[in-house]
């Protein structure tokens, strides 16, 4: 008789069944979808054989019988003739308010504010960045389903390492609109490391230099036997190949003396020509920039040195980020065993030379920089879908900024330090400040400074129903949970009664890179000032608590003191109250200590009275 088979836990009932899981690189200028087929990760082509899908969506006028929208190469071809309704580089709008969109005046379409979010005005109505991104994602989903002739189980979608909570949430929302189940969001540099680490069997410390069309990431990773640990990450989500195009276009116009304002169609045409010239110069010693705008016919010769000069500031910005991330990771450039180049913009010779000169080694370019992120995401998707039998793949990504809670005096208590590996859950116990306190107001903040006023507010919520106790008796455990996608939730629980409250942090839009950079820079530049400020606030809080406790004790048991003893304590309290508002932390601490010592004998008398009252009327055997 044949034996009945029982599947391994977590394994399919049919050992030959395979879930269709893909990796998607949702890029600023172009996007790709990849999957593992026959044990090899590969990008999936469209019907025309091209794997790249331009991240461009054109909305058509329904009044004129338009078919709705065009996506990809068809939309890109119409960008010059219909710039107002052709949306490109929408990734830069994800999770942003209008005020946070960099160079919004240089876009060929109109961006407005709606419900705290930057949205695009088109002939088909206002479109959110999530809706535009969903069109691109849905196209890639259909491509994958056509390739496998099966429904898509799920996808791993990549995001820039410096995407904050709002930008990551916006990406997940776009995927939901496209009908895609998100298995995980992973950082683009991490995806690239997966592709290189598994394909080449690499181990050691690696730098991932990722310059795409609209974002720049730099990450330092340690690769060890399938474990991908992100040691530190940084970058600029408003810096990419688009900015190099704009810099070259501005230089060409300036060389020809063109100062007139350009309309949307002219801006699109100039930027398209600048992109063409930039790409040609990667393999040519000279190229002509030709365009007709504002009544001018431009013909400007451009050499590689011209291009490098007009974009030098942009290249320098990337290297500044590289140096900072190396410091954050605590490694020198000599310890880096390899530099992985990711993103189509790393094809620029000046980028490869600059990076190679800094690290004193040739960058790794043996994988297609356009495809490497999608390939790494596909490998991770294959593992998460349960298709991989080659062992587990462990990702240890990080958060870019510290997360904490506001405490008394406007201080920040950090719960999750920046560059902590995610997913993670960390907790810390807090207590009440006043006698009989039955509620706690919790303020979640993000940043590197010691004072709440210098950090960014993420969320506020309240824990109510705390049993009334003396100040300091309650134990409230606050837990920060950052999931594998980098999204945060915070909970608070009073340990004795079990009352609990929680909040999922979903800000309307996120931090700009300038804010992130400023936060980090301020934390280093003002470290001594922050230490002094924190010491002063803590001294004042301790002094107020000491005065309040002493007054409560006197109100209950002042009769235990002789008049001279009572007068001495009153004088010590008055001295502390007079100095508590000063800027001298040391003097406040000294006065607080003096009051504590001056009330030691009073505290002993109160304890004796309490014991006597507790024992009063009881027999010895009852005690």
> Which amino acids are annotated catalytic?
25, 91, 188, 210
CA distances from 122 to 54, 58, 115, 119 (A): 19, 9, 17, 10
231 within 8 A of 222, measured Cβ to Cβ: yes
List beta partners, residue 476: 430, 494
| Cα–Cα distance measured from residue 511 to residue 455, given in angstroms and rounded to the nearest whole number | 11
Q: Which residues fall within 8 angstroms of residue 399, CB to CB, at 6 or more apart?
A: 416, 418, 419, 420, 422, 482, 486
12 within 8 A of 386, measured Cβ to Cβ: yes
| Cα–Cα distance measured from residue 42 to residue 152, given in angstroms and rounded to the nearest whole number | 16
Q: Which residues fall within 8 angstroms of residue 458, CB to CB, at 6 or more apart?
A: 165, 403, 444, 445, 446, 488, 505, 507
405 within 8 A of 478, measured Cβ to Cβ: yes
| Cα–Cα distance measured from residue 469 to residue 447, given in angstroms and rounded to the nearest whole number | 33
Identify which of 30, 381, 11, 399 has the alpha carbon closest to the alpha carbon of residue 182. Answer: 381
**DSSP result, 69-108:** EEETHHHHHTTTTSGGGEEE-GGGGTT--GGG-TTGGGSS
| Cα–Cα distance measured from residue 422 to residue 230, given in angstroms and rounded to the nearest whole number | 9
| Cα–Cα distance measured from residue 358 to residue 362, given in angstroms and rounded to the nearest whole number | 10
Identify which of 45, 23, 46, 26 has the alpha carbon closest to the alpha carbon of residue 34. Answer: 23
| Cα–Cα distance measured from residue 70 to residue 61, given in angstroms and rounded to the nearest whole number | 11
> Which residue intervals of 149-263 are DSSP H helices?
165-177, 188-200, 241-255
Burial 147-178 (b: 16+ CB within 10 A, else e): beeeebbbbbbbbbbbbbbbbbbbbbbbbebb
Identify which of 158, 238, 237, 149 has the alpha carbon closest to the alpha carbon of residue 190. Answer: 158
22 within 8 A of 378, measured Cβ to Cβ: yes
CA distances from 315 to 152, 308, 559 (A): 40, 9, 76
């Amino acid at each position: 008789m044949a034996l009945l088979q029982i599947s391994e836990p977590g394994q399919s009932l049919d050992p030959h069944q395979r879930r269709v899981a893909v990796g998607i690189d949702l890029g600023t200028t172009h996007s790709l979808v990849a999957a593992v087929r026959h044990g090899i990760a590969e990008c999936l082509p469209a019907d025309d054989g091209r794997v790249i899908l331009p991240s461009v969506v054109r909305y058509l006028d329904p009044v004129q019988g338009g078919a709705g929208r065009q996506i990809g190469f068809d939309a890109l071809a119409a960008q010059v003739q219909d710039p107002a309704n052709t949306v490109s580089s929408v990734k830069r709008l994800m999770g942003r308010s209008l005020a946070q969109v960099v160079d919004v005046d240089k876009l060929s379409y109109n961006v407005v504010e709606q419900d705290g979010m930057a949205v695009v005005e088109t002939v088909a109505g206002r479109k959110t960045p999530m809706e535009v991104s969903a069109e691109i994602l849905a196209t890639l989903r259909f491509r994958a389903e056509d390739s496998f002739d099966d429904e898509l189980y799920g996808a791993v979608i990549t995001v820039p390492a410096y995407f904050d909570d709002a930008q990551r949430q916006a990406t997940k929302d776009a995927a939901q609109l496209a009908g895609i189940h998100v298995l995980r969001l992973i950082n683009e540099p991490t995806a690239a490391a997966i592709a290189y680490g598994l394909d080449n069997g690499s181990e050691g410390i690696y730098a991932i230099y990722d310059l795409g069309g609209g974002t720049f990431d730099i990450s330092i990773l340690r690769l060890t036997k399938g474990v991908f640990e992100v040691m530190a990450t940084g970058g600029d989500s408003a810096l990419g190949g688009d900015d190099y195009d704009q810099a070259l276009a501005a230089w060409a116009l300036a060389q020809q003396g063109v100062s007139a304002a350009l309309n949307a169609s002219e801006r699109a045409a100039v930027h398209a020509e600048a992109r063409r010239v930039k790409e040609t110069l990667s393999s040519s010693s000279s190229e002509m920039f030709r365009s007709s705008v504002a009544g001018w016919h431009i013909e400007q010769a451009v050499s590689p040195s011209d291009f490098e000069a007009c974009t030098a500031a942009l290249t320098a910005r990337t290297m500044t980020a590289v140096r900072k991330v190396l410091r954050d990771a605590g490694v020198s450039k000599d310890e880096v065993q390899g530099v992985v180049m990711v993103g189509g913009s790393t094809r620029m010779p000046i980028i490869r030379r600059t990076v190679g000169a800094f690290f004193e080694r040739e960058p790794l370019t043996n994988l297609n920089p356009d495809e490497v992120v999608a390939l790494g995401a596909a490998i991770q998707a294959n593992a998460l879908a349960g298709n991989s039998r080659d062992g587990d793949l462990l990702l240890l990504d990080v958060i870019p900024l510290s997360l904490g809670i506001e405490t008394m005096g406007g201080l920040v208590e950090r719960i999750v330090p920046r560059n902590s590996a995610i997913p993670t859950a960390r907790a810390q116990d807090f207590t009440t400040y006043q006698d009989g306190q039955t509620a706690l107001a919790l303020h979640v903040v993000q940043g590197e400074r010691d004072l709440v006023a210098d950090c960014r507010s993420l969320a506020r919520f309240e824990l109510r129903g705390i049993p009334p106790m003396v100040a300091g008796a309650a134990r409230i455990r606050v837990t920060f949970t950052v999931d594998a996608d980098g999204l945060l939730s915070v909970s608070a629980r009073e340990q004795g009664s079990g009352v609990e409250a929680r909040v999922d942090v979903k800000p309307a839009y996120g931090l700009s890179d300038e804010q992130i950079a400023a936060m980090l820079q301020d934390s280093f530049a003002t470290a001594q000032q922050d230490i002094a400020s924190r010491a002063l606030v803590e001294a004042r809080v301790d002094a107020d608590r000491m005065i309040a406790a002493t007054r409560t004790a006197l109100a209950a048991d002042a009769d235990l003191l002789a008049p001279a003893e009572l007068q001495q304590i009153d004088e010590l309290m008055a001295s502390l109250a007079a100095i508590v508002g000063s800027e001298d932390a040391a003097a406040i601490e000294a006065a607080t200590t003096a009051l504590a010592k001056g009330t030691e004998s009073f505290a002993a008398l109160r304890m004796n009275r309490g014991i006597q009252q507790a024992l009063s009327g009881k027999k010895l055997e009852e005690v």
